[in-house]
Chains A and B, each alone.
Chain A
């Protein structure tokens, strides 16, 4: 049973560029959440996708956008990259039960470096 997978594992971009990160949820899960983890900090919630729609959003600017596909996989897009966007981006999947979600399982993350 494959767990949560993310690609790529590492990425280097320059300021002003755009980036797309990808996530495949654990088998049987239908909800994907994205988190940003800066060095030495805990993960911060970006947004959550369920039924191909953004269901919740944290305190992140519109430069951060996402998408969920019919097979439940998801993408995170960040436009106009800033140095401060350098972080580990974590994807977590879970199974929704109405408005609630079950335990979230995390992927290995994508390390984004913005130069």
Chain B
């Protein structure tokens, strides 16, 4: 069974609309990474969360980690065509921090209609 679930699998939004992507873990997260990937290309680092209740923002993208450290959400405000791509969450389940072997979800494919 998949231990890191992302939802939705795909999303089509109108430009200017807000959207949320969720990442749910079956185990406590000691690090949660959000990456963006253009089709067939490498991953672009967005944000990393470690503490329960933590929230980080970069431009119009905000990521949160819940208090129990088992769920994270990525929120995009006023979406633009440049936000289109595949969003991946990566989990670090190693107590004490990153030992480098991230477990990834299957990704959420975001399309933004102009």
Contacts and interface: CB of A to CB of B under 8 A. Distances in A.
Contacts, number: 68
A42 B103 CA distance: 8
A94 interface: yes
Interface residues of B, number: 24
A26 to B, nearest CB: 11
B42 A109 contact: yes
B88 A101 contact: no
Interface stretch (B54-62, B75-83, B104-112): B104-112
Interface of B: 4, 33, 35, 40-45, 48, 88, 90, 96-107
11 contacts: A42-B104, A48-B100, A48-B101, A99-B99, A100-B98, A101-B98, A101-B99, A102-B98, A103-B33, A103-B48, A104-B100
Interface of A: 4, 6, 31, 33, 40-45, 48, 55-56, 58, 88, 90, 92, 94, 99-109, 111
